[in-house]
Amino acid sequence: MILTDTRILDEMEKGNIVIDPFDRKFLGSNSYDVHLADSLAVYKDDVLDAREHNRVTHFKITDHHGFLLLPGRLYLGVTREYTETHNFVPFLEGKSSIGRLGVDIHSTAGKGDIGYCNTWTLEISVKQPVKIYAGMPIGQLIYFEVSGEVMVPYNRKKSAKYNRKTKRPVESMMWMNFDSKTLDKK
């Protein structure tokens, strides 16, 4: 089941959901709108390798001029909002207004885990050139109830790769999945 606005507020009061900053006007009937922060990143190399740590270049979106996104390039963005979700599964979906501009905010990573405590890195791609701005609504968080107890929430997993609190987009840490004991390395 998806949480309603009143249930989201109740769970925030209990500390099971944290959204910072929070503004009541961005709470929908069953979701919360999140906004694009002023930090973007792009990979330094044109060819990425899943077994290697692919480095990124970080830059800021200027307030008034925005930033022009071009097709054929992957941009990493980040939400302005820091979130914590305990006892629920958060899903981040793009807003329909963003989709109608041909902007995708995630390729595959729209679901968070119980215990995810951080900002959300966005995997942004566009169908045609689109200018974006820091602070613009970019997505919406939806919260699902779960059945059963969680043995180890994400923020307590030793293997969790995205626990380091950040206000900047985080590049892929897929390379950390490759070790000599489990996978054949070069």
d(CA 94, CA 33): 9
Q: Confirm whether 157 is domain-assigned.
A: no
Active site residue 13: no
Q: Confirm whether 155 is domain-assigned.
A: no
d(CA 27, CA 3): 12
> Count of domains in the chain?
1
pLDDT in tens, the chain (186 residues): 999 999 999 999 999 999 999 999 999 999 999 999 999 999 999 999 999 999 999 999 987 889 999 999 999 999 999 999 999 999 999 999 999 999 999 877 778 889 999 999 999 999 999 999 999 999 999 999 999 888 888 887 777 777 778 888 877 777 878 865 555 544
Which three-class secondary structure state does DSSP give residue 17?
A: strand
d(CA 95, CA 53): 31
d(CA 9, CA 49): 42
Domain of 172, CATH number, reads: 2.70.40.10
Q: Confirm whether 121 is domain-assigned.
A: yes
Strand partners, 46: none
Asked whether the beta carbons of 22 and 12 are under 8 A apart, the reply is yes
pTM value?
Answer: 0.88
Which three-class secondary structure state does DSSP give residue 13?
A: helix
Q: Is 102 left (phi over 0), alpha (psi -120 to 50) or beta?
A: left
Residue 10: domain span? 5-46+57-147+164-177
List the catalytic residue out of 93, 123, 149, 171: 123
Residue 175 neighbours by CB distance under 10 Å: 15
Q: Confirm whether 152 is domain-assigned.
A: no
